[in-house]
A = this chain, B = another copy of it.
Amino acid sequence: MDIKPRQLEIMEAAGQLMTESGYAALTTKRLAERMGFSEPALYRHFKSKEEILTTMLTHLAQSMDERLTAVSEQVSDPAERVEAMFESHFSFFIENPHYLMAIFATGVLDQTPALERGIVALMEVKRRHLIATIKDGQAKGVFKAAFPAELLTLIAMGTFRLHMLRWRMSGRSFDLKKKGRILMKVVVELIRAK
């Protein structure tokens, strides 16, 4: 499925609205307003509001997969690779803040199974890359092998997510990337084999 420029604009505007003021703020009226055209014009580009969001999520999952694959190819040391992956995340979300909704929207979207599935799929992409790296690190003796890689992965992802959430709840009052780099470095040091 290829995405047309206008569709991309709409997705960006939709993400902006959600990121700024939450899921409930994303109404067809406001979205059309921000796009500078009338409400029904939206339906020339997407068949429903739900389709806008599912398209965003699959698009995001794909680009994240590519990004993390690139990081894996470029950074060979597992510890450095874990840090690079999160660094890449921070950069991405700072450059594409309209996609932040995918991280914060959990639990909002439960009434629409398609959206829930999209979010789960996105988390699975990140998990897959991270767990592979941590297992690699354990095999190479870089990370502690005494604990299951699944649990270490969960710790790293959970830390990342809460960091993002706190950044948002604070009204973006601190440097996400700078603090995040320090934080994820602590996580890496904690799981590093001494």
Chain A residues packing against B (C-beta within 8 Å): 21-25, 101, 104-111, 116, 120, 144, 147, 151-152, 154-155, 157-163, 165-166, 168-169, 182-183, 186-187, 189-191, 194
Would you mind naming 28 contact pairs between A and B with Cβ atoms under 8 Å apart?
A21-B110, A22-B108, A22-B111, A23-B107, A24-B108, A24-B111, A25-B110, A101-B107, A104-B106, A107-B107, A107-B165, A108-B108, A116-B169, A120-B169, A144-B190, A151-B186, A154-B163, A154-B166, A154-B183, A155-B186, A155-B187, A157-B162, A158-B160, A158-B161, A158-B163, A161-B162, A162-B162, A194-B194
CB-CB under 8 A from A162, the residues of chain B are: 154, 157-158, 161-162
Name the one of B24, B147, B165 contacting A186, with C-beta atoms under 8 angstroms: B147
Q: Is the CB of B155 within 8 A of A111?
A: no
Q: What is the CB-to-nearest-CB distance from A92 to chain B, in angstroms, rounded to a whole number?
A: 18
Closest to A103 in B: B107
- Most chain-B Cβ atoms within 10 A of its Cβ — which of A23, A154, A158, A190? A158
Name the one of B107, B111, B165, B183 contacting A104, with C-beta atoms under 8 angstroms: B107
Name the one of B111, B147, B161, B182 contacting A189, with C-beta atoms under 8 angstroms: B147
Nearest 10 A/B pairs, CB to CB: A22-B110, A158-B162, A104-B107, A108-B108, A158-B158, A158-B159, A190-B190, A24-B111, A155-B159, A147-B186
CB-CB under 8 A from A25, the residues of chain B are: 110-111
Contact A182:B104 (CB < 8 A) given known A24-B111, A111-B22: no
